[in-house]
Amino acid sequence: MRVYEKTEGHLICGHWNGSPLEIGLTSIIREVPPGEARHFHDYHEYYVVLEGSAELEVEASVTVLRPGTTVMVQPGERHRIVSVSPSGGRWVIIKERSSPGSKQCV
Encode pLDDT of 15-69 as tens digits. 666 677 778 888 776 666 666 678 888 888 999 999 998 889 999 899 999 999 9
Three-class DSSP category at 59: coil
Encode pLDDT of 82-97 as tens digits. 888 888 888 888 888 7
Domain ranges within the chain, ordered by starting residue: 11-105
Residue ranges of E strands in the chain: 11-13, 21-28, 39-40, 45-58, 61-65, 70-73, 79-96, 104-105
- If 0-12 CB within 10 Å is exposed, 13-18 middle and 19+ buried, where does residue 106 land? exposed
Domain 11-105 falls in which CATH fold? Answer: Jelly Rolls (2.60.120)
Kindly report the pTM of this predicted structure: 0.76
Sign for the CA dihedral angle at 58, 60, 66, 70 comes to negative
